[in-house]
């Protein structure tokens, strides 16, 4: 197609036939070269086979060479425009272009006559196309008229012009938008489900300060199954748990919710960490054997100053001491949940006053470009310099590890601080203990000890009397049903009074209804009626602990 002749005759009349000597037919040329000189053409040579230009009635239509460029472009169903010169003046627009965007005057620069090209981000490409001689394309751009077009700008060799071809992709764009909307709603549903399954407000124990952060993956990533929880166990003890369900989407979030609910139920039994993990392992296999999950469950006892934990394939706990030194818990004590066939064990890591512990999921430290141990080391370095409240530490760790809204994985972080109390604040926290030696004569000594301690702690008379009564009942129960060694512990915090008695027998007491003629069996019922809460648990070395709490007036 000779655009030089075509562009010259655009304003004038159409010429139906171009110079015949300017074109050649490959089949005809081959026949001429094959025919001996002077041999007349055979009938078959004069009767070419029907071509694609024949009409539906079988009559021959106009041959391609008989059509001018204007007629070819005019018959295209897609909008086409020809721009000429360095200022891209309009030389021609076809009927489809006028139908889509309206008539356009010729001879006027496109920047003035074609505002749609600006909206489609085509105008900046025109100069590039002229300079480079290379086609440029913008894909699926929307116009104010509501349609979407993919526009290709092609240079015209030797003509100092650009051919603009716009393909209507409105249907494809709308289908893609519907798909994106569906995926966005699906992800929002999963995120909403997961956030609703996470604790809406963290419990704040007396001796710890806790904050947590959960950040779902970026918009292109389906939500995962990261979760955490804080559970007060009574007697000043606190359970901390964080886990990660492998996989993404609503299914992972649903499995996460079931595991979190199970953890809270098992925690109420006040079992050692490794026994809780053992129960979760069985449950995870029953829920869905294909959904592997990692989890770490830790218990903090303020009287021991450490975390007792069990880990099912989860990343190690990090603890920052008051001087900035970061300790790393031992490797996982067992494989991920749901694998079965493993006997889990518990480990310990010190958490003294002034220290900060961090529990986290792999989204915080795992990167495709580096080993996960390097990510844990980076987290340890960030933690060593992170000071402030637990929430401030959370935010600093997130920033230091480069986690943004576009991060490709879910991130959960749980920060636990054991504050060092000084001054008047320290006066609100006290401990006192008495070894219960001998036989029944230990009961009056325990009552006298409790009276003196509670008086020195300046409790109101009513609360002091209730505390002495509870001490008497707990000690009497231990003397009657327990075995040595026995010990009475009293602890006060800024919120409650805690009374605990330990002995060497591992049979846990239960509350029962005593008959009128019974001389015993009323101790636990009395404690349950006067105390704010009570409970019992087995101790690691064998034996049990029975405790009760009284809320202090604020």
Assess contact for 168 and 200: CB atoms under 8 A: no
More confident residue, 29 or 498: 498
Compute how many other C-beta atoms are within 10 angstroms of the C-beta atom of residue 334: 20
- Interval 532-552 mean pLDDT: 93
Q: Which residues contact 318 (CB under 8 A, 6 or more apart)?
A: 326, 327, 328, 329, 357, 358, 376, 379, 380, 383
Q: What would the pLDDT profile of 484-530 be if each residue is shown by its tens digit?
A: 999 999 999 999 999 999 999 999 988 776 555 555 567 888 999 99
Structure confidence by residue, pLDDT tens digits, 425-434:
788 899 999 9
In total, the chain counts a number of residues equal to: 554
**Which residues are 91's β-sheet partners?**
none
Per-residue model confidence (pLDDT) at position 223: 63
Residue 33 in this model has a pLDDT that exceeds 60: no
**What percent of the chain clears pLDDT 70, i.e. is strictly above it?**
84
Compute CA 163 distance to the chain's CA centroid, rounded to the nearest angstrom. Answer: 47
Residue 496 confidence (pLDDT)? 94
Which pLDDT band holds residue 40 (cuts at 50, 70, 90)? very low
Per-residue pLDDT band at 13 (split at 50, 70, 90): very low
Q: What is the pLDDT of residue 62?
A: 63
Is 51 within 8 Å of 65 (Cβ atoms)? no
Strands of 306-312's sheet in order across: 225-234, 237-245, 293-301, 306-312, 347-350
- What pLDDT shows up at residue 14? 38
| Residue 221: φ, ψ to 5° | -110, 135
Average pLDDT over residues 336-347: 88
The mean of the pLDDT values for the chain is: 83
DSSP 167-186: EE-HHHHHHHHHHHHHHHHH
DSSP 341-409: S-----EEEE--TTEEEEEE-GGGT-BTTB-HHHHHHHHHHHHHT--SSHHHHHHHHHHHTT--TT-SS
pLDDT tens digits for 238-279?
A: 999 999 988 776 777 788 889 999 999 999 999 999 999 999
Model confidence at 359, in pLDDT bands (50, 70, 90)? very high
Q: How confident is the model at residue 334, as a pLDDT?
A: 85
324: which DSSP letter?
Answer: S
Six-digit token string for 376: 């844990």
Using alpha carbons only, what angle is made at residue 277 by residues 275 and 281, rounded to the nearest 5 degrees? 115
Rounded to whole angstroms, how far apart are CA atoms 274 and 272? 6
Q: Which two tokens stand for residue 348?
A: 């310990």
So what's the pLDDT on residue 58? 52
Q: What is the pLDDT of residues 362-375, one digit of tens each?
A: 999 988 888 899 99
Express each pLDDT in 77-127 by its tens digit: 999 999 999 899 999 999 999 988 889 999 999 999 999 898 888 998 999
Backbone angles phi and psi of 505, in degrees to 5: -95, 135
């Amino acid at each position: 197609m000779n655009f030089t002749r075509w562009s010259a005759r655009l304003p004038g009349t159409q010429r139906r036939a171009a110079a015949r000597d300017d074109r050649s037919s490959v089949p005809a040329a081959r026949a001429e070269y094959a025919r001996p000189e002077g041999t007349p053409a055979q009938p078959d040579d004069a009767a070419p086979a029907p071509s694609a230009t024949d009409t539906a009635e079988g009559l021959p239509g106009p041959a391609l060479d008989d059509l001018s460029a204007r007629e070819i472009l005019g018959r295209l169903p897609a909008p086409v425009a020809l721009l000429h010169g360095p200022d891209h003046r309009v030389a021609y627009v076809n009927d489809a272009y006028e139908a889509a965007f309206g008539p356009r005057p010729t001879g006027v620069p496109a920047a003035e006559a074609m505002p749609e090209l600006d909206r489609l981000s085509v105008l900046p490409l025109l100069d590039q196309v002229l300079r480079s001689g290379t086609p440029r394309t913008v894909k699926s751009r929307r116009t104010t008229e509501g349609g979407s077009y993919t526009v290709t700008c092609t240079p015209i060799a030797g003509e100092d012009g650009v051919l603009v071809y716009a393909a209507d992709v409105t249907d494809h764009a709308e289908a893609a938008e519907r798909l994106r909307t569906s995926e966005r709603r699906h992800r929002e549903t999963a995120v909403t489900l997961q956030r609703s399954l996470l604790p809406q407000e963290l419990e704040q124990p007396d001796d710890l300060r806790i904050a947590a952060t959960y950040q779902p993956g970026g918009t292109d990533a389906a939500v995962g199954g990261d979760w955490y929880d804080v559970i007060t166990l009574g007697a000043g003890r606190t359970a901390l748990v964080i886990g990660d369900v492998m996989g993404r989407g609503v299914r992972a979030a649903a499995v996460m919710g079931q595991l979190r609910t199970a953890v809270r139920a098992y925690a109420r039994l006040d079992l050692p960490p490794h026994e809780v993990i053992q129960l979760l392992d069985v449950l995870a296999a029953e829920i869905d054997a294909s959904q592997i999950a990692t989890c770490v469950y830790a218990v903090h006892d303020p009287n021991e100053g450490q975390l007792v934990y069990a880990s099912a394939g989860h990343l190690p706990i990090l603890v920052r001491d008051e001087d900035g030194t970061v300790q790393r818990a031992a490797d996982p004590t067992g494989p991920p949940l749901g694998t079965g066939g493993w006997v889990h064990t518990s480990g310990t890591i010190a958490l003294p006053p002034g220290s900060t512990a961090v529990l986290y999921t792999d989204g915080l430290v795992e990167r495709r470009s580096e080993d996960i141990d390097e990510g844990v080391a980076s987290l340890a370095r960030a933690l060593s310099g992170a000071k402030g409240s637990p929430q401030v530490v959370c935010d600093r760790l997130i920033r230091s590890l480069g986690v943004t809204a576009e991060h490709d994985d879910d991130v959960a972080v749980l920060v636990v601080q054991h504050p060092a109390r000084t001054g008047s604040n320290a006066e609100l926290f006290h401990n006192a203990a008495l070894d219960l030696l001998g036989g029944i004569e230990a009961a009056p000594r325990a009552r006298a000890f409790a009276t003196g301690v509670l008086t020195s702690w300046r409790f109101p008379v009513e609360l002091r009397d209730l505390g002495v009564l509870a001490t008497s009942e707990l000690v009497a129960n231990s003397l009657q049903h327990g075995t040595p060694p026995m010990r009475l512990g009293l602890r006060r915090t800024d919120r409650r009074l805690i009374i605990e008695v330990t002995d060497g027998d591992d049979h846990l007491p239960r509350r029962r209804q005593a008959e009128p003629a019974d001389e015993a069996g009323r101790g636990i019922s009395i404690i349950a009626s006067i105390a704010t809460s009570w409970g019992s648990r087995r101790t690691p070395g064998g034996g049990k602990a029975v405790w009760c709490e009284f809320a202090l007036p604020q």
